[in-house]
């Protein structure tokens, strides 16, 4: 069925689809999160188990989305899925959340990590103390200090502005940048892992300790595992970005589903491999004390030069992840505007570049604001809570669509139905509950930003109905 999104160019093939998935996932998390996860678990075996478990759970989520993507190939991805599953209100809240926190917060965090690694080479000046002390109070969250680490935040914002411009100029250009950068960073991570394992002078006893853990860690092991899963899920996040650009994919019924699965499998393999390499060189307690763990591991072999080399690799990696997120996410607000559930200008396409240019600009501005809102870990924690709330609803929606659209063609069907999707829903609920208990302030920040869109929904519905009536009258 033809729809208005067809005036966007279908210029992305299977390779570009796979690279959007893998490139959006491999960014800052795999270089930054292993340190905090190691500190939470203090067990190398548990660390690897968490990475594998989080990867397999993510793969189930990708498989569920693959079934739905094969049925629905409009630009907007999960926003369109939620509209079919639950109706306008849930779809609107998802689209609002993507703009308010989920994807823009992700972009802010990735850009912040990019700037942190640029800071490995340059010392950024700080603002005077009077600015650093300035704070804004958020209920249930606490004080936010926008001008702390302002040098790092400025570099992050400049990166967002630049890549917004790249994707403003065309989806094919943005997709080509994504493919090249993703090949480079996957190759770099494989080479890095091989170098660490062959020349790192480490020990297999760093990887397997017989599950020895500090006694003081045992009473809180379940809460620690939940927090570590949150970190791993952040590193795996971004797998669904491809669905947002379904309307610009060639043969989307096939390529979106395959791209989701291939991209996720590649990332699981790479993540487990590089964490084994980290552990081989760095004992778990040393990893826990190293915020920039990739640089610390490489310095074991090459000294300061090794740290510089890996920092460049991380800069490239985060650059590619940010590009993939910016490329795909702006299509959600574009789809919302087309459905008369958001500002109409965001549904416009640039007459020359054939991109949702206004949506891209609005997204870039808000991502820059979120950079000012907190540190890397703060941003990622409230993004993950909001994202998994909708991942749970999305997986539950596959049951709804099986009943609602039993005769719709499904080029791909999720494996193990109904058990695997049900397992994903149960796990997502437990994960959210654990996050509320163990990380209340960040969970509340994510929830506040999601629910903040509720009052505006009535306005958009009130505005949309006359528009639909007017369009029907013209027909």
Q: Using pLDDT thresholds of 50, 70 and 90, give the confidence band for residue 21.
A: very high
**230 exposure class (CB count in 10 Å sphere: 0-12, 13-18, 19+):** buried
Please state the rounded mean pLDDT for residues 301-320: 85
Name the percent of the chain lying above pLDDT 90: 30
* The predicted structure's pLDDT at residue 254: 87
Tens digits of per-residue pLDDT, 350-388?
Answer: 888 888 999 999 999 999 988 887 655 666 667 778 888
* The predicted structure's pLDDT at residue 472: 46
pLDDT of 219 over the 70 cut: no
Rg (CA), the chain: 22
Residue with tokens 């528009």: 467
Residue with tokens 């079934």: 67
* The predicted structure's pLDDT at residue 364: 95
Q: Contact at 8 Å (CB) between 28 and 321?
A: yes
User: Measuring CA to CA, how many Å separate 135 from each of 37, 150, 246?
Assistant: 29, 13, 41
Please state the rounded mean pLDDT for residues 254-267: 92
Q: Using pLDDT thresholds of 50, 70 and 90, give the confidence band for residue 236.
A: very high
Distance CA 87, CA 73 (A): 17
Q: Contact at 8 Å (CB) between 72 and 80?
A: yes
Tens digits of per-residue pLDDT, 104-122?
Answer: 888 888 898 899 888 888 8
The DSSP 8-state label assigned to residue 123 in this structure reads: P
Q: Contact at 8 Å (CB) between 333 and 362?
A: yes
* The predicted structure's pLDDT at residue 142: 66
Tens digits of per-residue pLDDT, 154-202?
Answer: 999 999 999 999 989 877 777 888 889 999 989 989 999 999 999 988 8
Q: Contact at 8 Å (CB) between 283 and 303?
A: no
Write down the domain spans for the chain. Answer: 11-466
Render 211-264 in DSSP notation, one character per residue.
Answer: S---GGGGGGHHHHHHHHHHHHHHHHTTTTHHHHTGGGBSSHHHHHHHHHHHHH
How many alpha carbons fall within 13 Å on the CB side of residue 203? 6
* The predicted structure's pLDDT at residue 3: 42
pTM higher than 0.75, yes or no?
yes
Average pLDDT in the chain:
84
Tens digits of per-residue pLDDT, 268-301?
Answer: 999 999 999 999 999 999 998 887 788 888 888 8
pLDDT of 5 over the 70 cut: no
Strand partners, 249: 12
* The predicted structure's pLDDT at residue 1: 35
Q: Would you say domain 11-466 falls under CATH 1.20.1740.10?
A: yes
Q: Using pLDDT thresholds of 50, 70 and 90, give the confidence band for residue 2.
A: very low
SS3 302: helix
């Amino acid at each position: 069925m033809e729809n208005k999104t067809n005036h966007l160019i279908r210029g992305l093939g299977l390779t570009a689809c796979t690279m959007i998935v893998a490139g959006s996932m491999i960014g800052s998390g795999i270089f930054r999160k292993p340190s905090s996860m190691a500190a939470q678990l203090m067990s190398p075996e548990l660390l690897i188990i968490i990475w594998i478990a989080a990867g397999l759970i993510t793969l189930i989520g990708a498989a569920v989305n693959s079934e739905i993507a094969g049925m629905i190939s409009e630009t907007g991805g999960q926003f369109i899925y939620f509209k079919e599953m639950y109706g306008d209100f849930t779809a609107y809240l998802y689209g609002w959340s993507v703009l308010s926190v989920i994807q823009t917060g992700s972009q802010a965090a990735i850009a912040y990590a990019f700037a942190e690694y640029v800071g490995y080479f340059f010392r950024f000046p700080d603002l005077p103390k009077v600015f650093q002390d300035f704070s804004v109070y958020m209920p249930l969250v606490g004080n936010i200090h926008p001008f702390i680490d302002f040098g790092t935040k400025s570099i992050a914002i400049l990166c967002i502005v630049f890549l917004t411009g790249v994707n403003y100029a065309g989806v094919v250009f943005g997709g080509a940048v994504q493919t090249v950068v993703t090949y480079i960073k996957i190759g770099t991570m494989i080479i890095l892992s091989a170098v660490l394992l062959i020349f790192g002078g480490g020990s297999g006893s760093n990887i397997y300790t017989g599950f020895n853990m500090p006694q003081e860690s045992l009473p809180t092991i379940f809460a620690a595992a939940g927090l570590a899963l949150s970190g791993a899920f952040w590193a795996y996040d971004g797998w669904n970005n491809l669905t947002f650009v379904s309307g610009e994919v060639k043969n989307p019924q096939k390529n979106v589903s395959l791209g989701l699965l291939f991209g996720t499998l590649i990332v699981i393999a790479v993540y487990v491999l590089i964490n084994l390499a980290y552990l081989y060189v760095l004992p778990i307690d040393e990893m826990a004390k190293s915020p920039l763990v990739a640089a610390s591991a490489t310095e074991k072999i090459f000294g300061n030069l090794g740290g510089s080399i890996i920092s460049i690799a991380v800069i490239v990696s985060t650059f590619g992840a940010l590009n993939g997120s910016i490329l795909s996410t702006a299509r959600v607000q574009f789809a919302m505007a087309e459905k008369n559930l958001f500002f109409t200008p965001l549904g416009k396409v640039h007459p020359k570049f054939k991109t949702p240019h206004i949506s891209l600009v609005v997204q870039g501005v808000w991502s820059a604001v979120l950079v000012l809102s907190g540190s890397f870990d703060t941003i990622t924690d409230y993004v993950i809570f909001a994202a998994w709330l909708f991942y749970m609803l999305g997986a539950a929606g596959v049951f709804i669509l099986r009943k609602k659209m039993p005769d719709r063609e499904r080029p791909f069907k999720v494996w193990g139905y109904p058990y695997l999707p049900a397992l994903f829903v149960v796990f997502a609920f437990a994960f959210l509950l654990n996050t509320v208990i163990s990380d209340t302030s960040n969970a509340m920040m994510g929830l506040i930003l999601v629910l903040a869109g509720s009052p505006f929904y009535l306005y958009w519905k009130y505005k949309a109905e006359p528009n639909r009536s007017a369009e029907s009258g013209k027909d």
